[in-house]
Structure formats: structure tokens, C-alpha cells
Structure 1
Amino acid sequence: MTPAPSPKPIRVGLIFGGASGEHAIAIRSAITVAGALREGANAHRYAVSCFYIDRRGRWWGPDLADAVLAQGTPASEEQLATGGDRGGFQGFPPHALAMEVWFPVLHGPNGEDGTIQGLFSLMQVPFVGSGVLGSAVGMDKQAMKAAFAAAGLPQVPYACVSEAQLKRDPEGLLDRLEGDLGYPCFVKPANLGSSVGISKATDRASLRAGLLAAVQLDPRVVVEQGVTARELECAVRGGGPSPLSASVLGEILFDADWYDYDTKYSEGKSHTVIPAQVPAAIADQARRMALQACEAVNASGLARVDFFYAEASGSLWINEINTLPGFTSQSMYPMLWAATGVPLPTLVDALIQGAREWQSSPPDGGASV
């Protein structure tokens, strides 16, 4: 009997980099994802082609993309000038239109915010992660917090600020923030991730400076009341025909005043504890809230939900959702799933298969803890 022919590998487009301040982190995440897709059984299931978006938003095909992954740093001006693909979004790079499913690894604006998700939706090609709405709401901290509030999820006191307000009445704005939130407080650009642009204010001068710096990055800003709390994280996957499911919790410990960009991405400045050493009731509550957060913003595919836990009072507040979490060697998302019994190669395979199923099946809103 003639053996049945082996199914052809699924053509996966791994797209990374992006025109954002998190460009370099996206490269590190893409190295991890590419390795997992080319490991073990995944090497036979998937034919991976890598595509690179440079800091100016131009697309480049596998020639330059593979070189960037190999070197682990953004493309140099010389590489961009001599790139073999001669890419650019004015015309898709070679092979891009042949992809059967896309795996975006684009952190921050112009990749995590619904922009590229809208492009893939128009192309009618499945992709890993949330759609346009979930991505956009999950990216913008003002919209995210409004969605969480509407869902009844507990949050630390906060205020939404615009650049126009700061220009129109800076002293009145500072008076209001001091009265409503006090010190310390944290100033956050609404549409940046990985702690980019965040500052801690301890007095009126540092609050003013933080606001002025933040609006240079985003005209929409969130100011949050500082709390003494532990930082917990939970990974979520699923959606569409598969129910959402939540991982075990992890905790981030760090030797710094707060978890800023340098602490987050520098070796040795922070470490994780998985599973987090918290009461079972708190762990269960956080996992339920993580699923509720995804439903509140319409996130699907993958997400990481972050919490503040005040051990003294037992209070648990939702901090934020990240709809395209990091996949670096220090990133919580893959480590949380590994601790839950889902190793990295299995995880990326499940994310791709889920994306392909999502294309043909409407979400059912189910969830499991």
C-alpha cells in the first residue's frame, strides 16, 4: 500500500521589529519564537518565513530578517541600504502574500495597537493574537482602564490626562492630581509598553517633569496613585472556538525602587518566582480577574494580565493587560505557561492552530480557570 503523503507544512510569516520604542525587545522576542517554531515536531509542521519591519515602518523579507535575528540587534543603516530584498511597505516583500498565517511579534505602537491586525484582517489571513478592537483597547491605557471600570474590576485610583489639559491649565491640573492621588504617583504615556516613558513623581516638581516628558511621547497620559504592593502576573491563551484559560501566577521581584525599563530588561536586576507564593484564594481570584480582563477589552489568542497585591490588606487590583506580551528569555508569558505544563514549542503551536481556527469560527465567550 502506498503511504499517504505527508501534509505540506503550514506557511507561517513571523513578523517582528516595528516602528516603536520597543523595536529591540521585539527582536529578542522573535528570536525565541522562531527557535520554538523550528524545534522538534514544529519544524515539520511549519515552514517559517521571517519578515522585518524597520524603525521607519518599512517591510523587509527573509534575507534581512534572518540576518537581524542572527545578530540580535536592529538593522544598521548599511544593512538597510544594501538589503537584498529591497523591501518596503510600498510593496510587500517577496513571499509575504504566500503566508497562510501570521505570527506578529511587534510590541508597542504600530504593531500591538490594532494597526497591523487591521491589515491582516483586510487581507483575510489569520494571525496570532487579538483583533483590532482588543488590540487597540488593550494598548491604550485610558481606554483599557475605562473598560476595566465598566466590568467592575478593581483598580488603584487614577486620573486620565491630556496634553491639551496640561497646556491649558498646568497649575490647576497639578492641584487636582495632588488632591486626588497624592504622592508618590506614577505618570504613564497611554500607548507605550515595557515601562517606556513611565516616571515616578514624589513631589510637584517631579510630577510636572513627568507629565511634560510623557506628553512628548503620547498626548494621552494616565497618572496612577502609588501603592505598596507585590507585582503578580498571569498568562492567558485561547478564545474563539476554544475557551480562554489562565496560567499559574508569577511574581516579579526586583532590586530597584520600581520596575522600570532598565530593571525589566537588564540581566540580574530582577527575577521571577513561579508559582507566586500567595494564598490559594488570591491566586484563584487573580486568574478569574485575568479572564474577565480579556473579556472586558475583547482580547483573544494570548495576553498577560498584571496585578498589584497588597499583602497587608489582602487587596488585589488589576494593573494592565498586554495583548502581545514579550517572548524574551526573561519574559513571564512563556515561563508562566511552561510552569503550567505547556512548554514553549507546544505553546506557539497552540497559538498558531488557535489563530487558524478563529478565522472560521466565531467566539463563544467561554472561559476556564
Structure 2
Amino acid sequence: MITLDPMSTTVALLFGGRSGEHGISCITAGGILAAIDRTRFDVVAIGITPEGRWVHVSDDPSDWTMVDGRAPEVAADGDEVLLPSSRHRPGERTALRVLREGRVEPLAEIDVVWPLLHGPYGEDGTVQGMLEMLDIPYVGSGVLASATAMDKAATKVALRAAGIECAPGIVVHEDRWADGAGRVLAHLEQHHPRPWFVKPARAGSSLGVSRVEEAAQLEHAMKTAFREDPKVLIEEGLVGREIECGVLAARDGGEPRTTLPGEVKVGADLDFYDYEAKYFGKGTVSIDVPAGLPDGVLEEAREIARRAFGALGLEGLARVDMFVTTDHRVIVNEVNTMPGFTPYSMFPVLWESMGLSYAELIADLVDQAASRRLGQR
């Protein structure tokens, strides 16, 4: 069993996972392992292999960094982590065990789980539901909020119901595409000017996203998106600037806290801010914090981010991505409930600009989770 300080809060970092964002999740974990205040928090590192096996892994940050352009991966050679067989009592720590050489042995008693999982099988309410059933406190939004925000189409329904403008587009399901491609194309040509952005409804980090300039490119773009998700969005490509706003849950019953928005600027060598540009340095990308927009537009974006956070019932943290059109309309693109969290990711950088350091941001989120009531919320 790991020797831990009984006076410290013990956090289980859960990372890796089965989605295409496995490596990004591992890099995020490396950043947090390097920055978390070890005088306040004890850490237990739990990796989920790409096949879905939960294993106890190293908590050395250097084991979870990019090497020669390759993201790290959780290997299956660690001791298998066994979850509790029943819910724990309020106020008590949750005991985790491992299967080691055929024997069940204690691993650690934890206070909070932080699911550092991006994409399906982690950011979408699945892990959150499991933790709810076991009454284990965790960082981030609950089941319904996580599932809704993960599904870009469901997000738009909720936001539009709250009077928040979103990018226009349509939803296409894979089982209807083969027979309905012609009708989809005709509808797009009539109602949605190009370029179109084709994106999986339930994937992140721009995985499976394509920009379509000509109708002949649509078939290939749909196949690319369907590899990630059988549910796909086709959206109008808005002319404007891309901004992102960080949100943290309220303290003491106040309003959700927001950052000044930052702006992502993409060079002429890129069609859009894609997966390779975000994580592997492809193309010319710059980030301005705060965005160089009029004060009134910045404040409107912050208010829209707050409203989106509330409309979706989010908790903990979120990054709200928006477009600002040439006539200064602010339109929500998507909402991320577990945004990239490396030291150089937009979310921590935004909060750093507001005076909240990376380590303080980590502590804020863990403290929120530890104090939040359990059960349906």
C-alpha cells in the first residue's frame, strides 16, 4: 500500500482512456503531476490503457511527456486497479485495491478522483456515472452535463433553448448517409453556404474534423468523421475570429468565474486549428491573451460563457469556444468540460492571465470537488 499523509487530500488522477485522445490525456496528467502542490495533496496515478484496463502507473511527470513527437501511452504492465464493490460512507475515504501477482492488496485510500479523460469513455458522462454510483467525489461536471456537452448537437439544443446563438448546421447519422447523401447535399447547397465544417458529434481535439470547400469533398470528409463517431455535424464555416473563454464554478453561491477571452490566430498555411496544429506544432498558430477585441465584445463573450455554463448545468470547469463575426456577433462553437490542461494549454494560460497560477488552479478544482455534495445534482 502507498504510504500517504492522513492529513493531506488524496487525489486519484485518472488518465489515458479508450478514446483517440489517449495521448493528450497522458500529457495533461504529466503537467498536473509536475505542478500539483505535494505539500497539500497526495497523488495516486491510475492509467487506463487503450483497451480499457485500469492500472496503477508512475506518478513521475517525466514519464508522461511528449518524446520525439510521440505522445505517451498507458501500458498494460502495471498492477490492475480494482474498484470498490460498493458505495462508501459519506465522510470516509474510498479504498482502492490492486491485483498483484494473483493477490488482492490495498493500494490507497482516496478523497477525490480527477478524470483527466478527453473524449468518449471519459468526458462524456460514462466515468462520471460510475463514480456517482460509488459515491466518490470527482472533479468536473456530472453525468447529464458531461454527456450533453460532449455531444455537440445536444449542446446546441440546450444553448439555443437558453437564447444563446450557435453555429448553424445539420446532423447526419451514418446509417442514413448511404441512402440519403444526395438529399443532404441538396439541403446544404440550398440552406448553408460553403465552406462547411464536417465534425464528429462526440469527439474532441478536432479529431475527424474536415473543412469542405467543394461539394465533391463531402464524401471523404464524412468518412473521416464517421471513423470517430456515427453521428456527425455539418456546419457553416463562419467568417470571424476564434476566441476561447475559461470558466470556473462559482464560489459561495456567486456567479461562475470567467477569464478574459483569448484568441487563436491561424496562419495562411492552415485551413483551421486542427489536431496536428493543437498538439504537434503543425503550421503557424499564435495565441493572444486577452484577445484584441473591443472591451464590450470581450465582456459580452464572458457573459455568454457564463450563461452557457449555467444552461448546460456544468460544474467545476469548462472552456467555451466562440466565434466573433465581422459585425461583432458572438457565436458559440462548442463547450469543453475537460479542456486541455497542460501548462501551455489555453485553459491554464487564460487563468494565469487572471492571476491564478497553474498550481492554484489545480488546487481550486480539487477543493471544489472535495466540498461538493454527492449524489444526483
**Same fold by TM-score greater than 0.5:** yes
Q: Deviations over 1:232-254 (max 9, x none)?
A: 00000114854311111101112
Q: Deviations over 1:41-78 (max 9, x none)?
A: x21111111110010111011359878426764347xx
Q: Deviations over 1:98-120 (max 9, x none)?
A: 21101111111111000111111
Q: How does 1:280-291 map to 2 (within 5 A)?
A: 280-291=295-306
C-alpha deviation, 1:164, in angstroms: 2.5
- Judged with a 3 Å threshold, the aligned counterparts in structure 2 of structure 1 residues 75 and 209 are, in CA distance, closer, same or farther, namely closer
Give, in whole Å, the separation in 1 of the partners of 2:124 and 2:274. Answer: 22
Give the equivalent residue in structure 2 for 1:347: 361
Q: How does 1:79-228 map to 2 (within 5 A)?
A: 79-80=75-76, 83-87=77-81, 94=98, 98-228=109-239
Q: Name the aligned partner's letter for residue 211 of structure 1.
A: M
Which secondary structure does the structure 2 equivalent of 1:169 belong to? helix
Give the equivalent residue in structure 2 for 1:356: 370
Which secondary structure does the structure 2 equivalent of 1:60 belong to? strand
Q: Deviations over 1:280-329 (max 9, x none)?
A: 1101100000011111111110000011012x312211111000000124
Give, in whole Å, the separation in 2 of the partners of 1:254 and 1:238. Answer: 30
Give, in whole Å, the separation in 1 of the partners of 2:78 and 2:121. Answer: 24
Q: Deviations over 1:133-177 (max 9, x none)?
A: 111000001101111111111122211111122123211111112
Give, in whole Å, the separation in 1 of the partners of 2:107 and 2:134. Answer: 11
Q: Deviations over 1:210-232 (max 9, x none)?
A: 11221232111111101221100
Give the equivalent residue in structure 2 for 1:299: 314
Give, in whole Å, the separation in 1 of the partners of 2:107 and 2:144. Answer: 24
2:88 maps to 1:74: no
Give, in whole Å, the separation in 1 of the partners of 2:249 and 2:17. Answer: 25
Higher relative contact order (CA 8 A, sep 6+): 1
Match of 1:253 among 265, 272, 285: 265
Deviates more, 1:199-208 or 1:300-309: 199-208
Give, in whole Å, the separation in 2 of the partners of 1:164 and 1:239. Answer: 42
Give the equivalent residue in structure 2 for 1:33: 32
Deviates more, 1:138-147 or 1:261-270: 261-270
Which secondary structure does the structure 1 equivalent of 2:208 belong to? coil
Contact 1:57 1:89 in 2 (8 A): no
Contact 1:59 1:93 in 2 (8 A): no
Match of 2:52 among 57, 61, 68: 57
C-alpha deviation, 1:84, in angstroms: 4.0
Contact 2:44 2:59 in 1 (8 A): no
Contact 1:165 1:173 in 2 (8 A): no
Give the equivalent residue in structure 1 for 2:89: none
Give the equivalent residue in structure 2 for 1:3: none
Give the equivalent residue in structure 2 for 1:330: 344
Greater helix proportion: 1
Give, in whole Å, the separation in 2 of the partners of 1:118 and 1:291. Answer: 25
Give the equivalent residue in structure 1 for 2:246: 235
Contact 1:117 1:132 in 2 (8 A): yes
C-alpha deviation, 1:269, in angstroms: 3.3
**Structure 1: 5+ residue runs without aligned partners?**
1-5, 364-369
Which secondary structure does the structure 1 equivalent of 2:303 belong to? helix
Normalization by structure 1: what TM-score?
A: 0.88
- Judged with a 3 Å threshold, the aligned counterparts in structure 2 of structure 1 residues 245 and 253 are, in CA distance, closer, same or farther, namely same
Contact 1:254 1:263 in 2 (8 A): no
